Amino acid sequence: MGSELKYFAVLAITVAALLQSTAAVEKHVVGDKFGWIVPPGGHYAYEVWASGHKFSVGDILEFNFTTGEQDVAKVTKEAFDSCNSTNPIELKTTGPANFTLDTIGEYYFIGTMDKHCELGQKLAINVTSTTSAPAPAPGPATPRGPVTYIVGEQLGWFVPGEFSYSAWAYGKTFMVGDTLVFNFLNETQDVAIVTKAVFDNCTTNSTLAVYKYSPVHIILNTTGEHYFTSTYDSHCEYGQKLAINVTGKSAGTPSPCPSPSSSTTPAPSKAPSAHSPVASGPYTSAASSTITGSGYYLTILLVGLAFFH
């Protein structure tokens, strides 16, 4: 884990907050403080970033990167989809690099170095209006409907260095009906659902369930505490762990039987599970599977998402 990555990781907390704000006549710094890098969580990073911004004619996109380590090319949709950097519309190799959004329409950008694009350094945006106007502030919705949380936002799910998933979770309200999405690069991470004891001690050879293919969607079906980590060697010890407390129900959620709180009772170490113990061996997973454990259900949907189509 490079120190540079740690640096970005620390700043990601700020990034998450900044995502919500949009102002008039703008320079958009791509990825905000996170900048233009090969994102640890794959191409979701810039997808998520773009979804938090409104682009208007006249706006400037600033790609902040270290010259020599990254570059940025404006390309066609076809080149974007296939990560073809052979004949870009425009290539900028000195960071930071600006592009002015001078017309309505779709814009596609990729990093052309090595496998940067394939690894997720790609951005598609849609300029939809000629007039810059402040985006309407999202009105307070009470009671709120189900929320989908992208774990770690742009950074996704990885061994975080100084970034902490507890900081990410801080201040968020998790309710029954909400969804957690874990984005990561296949074969480099996984998502393990574990008991509190396993979570605390990182004895990740004992799990309730393990999901190996990104993106992992977990619908929070029950109140109480939920613990997530990784079965990869030392990932838990190095901080790839997330604990959340599901406290109520979002509006319009069918009512499941609330499970007894696990906050004071030791979690059962022999919870029934279709998938435990799981070490690091090959793991076959269906496209959709439901497991039962400790009086609650978690349904994990492994969804193949097609972006930019």
Determine the Cα–Cα distance for residues 109 and 121; give it in Å rounded to an integer: 8
- Contact between residue 157 and residue 238 where contact means Cβ atoms under 8 Å apart: no
CA distances from 245 to 67, 148, 150, 176, 263 (A): 43, 15, 16, 10, 9
State which residue, 106 or 141, has the beta carbon closest to ligand NAG.
Answer: 106
Least gap, CB of 113 to ligand NAG (angstroms)? 16
Question: Which residue lies nearer to ligand NAG by CB, 84 or 164?
Answer: 84
Q: Contact positions toward ligand NAG, by CB under 6 A?
A: 27, 29, 33, 35, 42, 60, 62, 64, 82, 84, 86-87, 96, 98, 106, 126, 128, 186, 197, 200-201, 203, 205-206, 213-214, 219, 221, 225, 245, 247, 256, 263, 269, 277, 297, 299, 304
Shortest CB 176 distance to ligand NAG, Å? 8
Collapsing DSSP to helix, strand or coil, 174 comes out as: strand
Would you say 28 or 239 has its CB closer to ligand NAG?
A: 28
Angle at the Cα of 223 from the Cα atoms of 221 and 228, rounded to 5 degrees: 75
- DSSP for 180-223 reads EEE---TTT--EEEE-HHHHHHT-TTS-SEEE-SSSEEEE--SS
99: helix, coil or strand?
Answer: strand
Closer by beta carbon to ligand NAG, 57 or else 219: 219
Q: Please identify, using beta-carbon distances, which residue of 157 and 160 lies nearer to ligand NAG.
A: 157
Q: What is the closest distance, in whole angstroms, from the C-beta atom of residue 263 to ligand NAG in the complex? A: 4
Confirm if 151 and 240 have CB atoms less than 8 A apart: no
Q: Measured from the CB of residue 4, what is the shortest distance to ligand NAG in angstroms?
A: 8
Minimum distance from residue 86 beta carbon to ligand NAG (Å): 4
Shortest spacing between CB 88 and ligand NAG, in angstroms: 9
Q: 58 vs 96, which CB is nearer to ligand NAG?
A: 96
- The pairing of strands 97-100 and 105-110 is unpaired
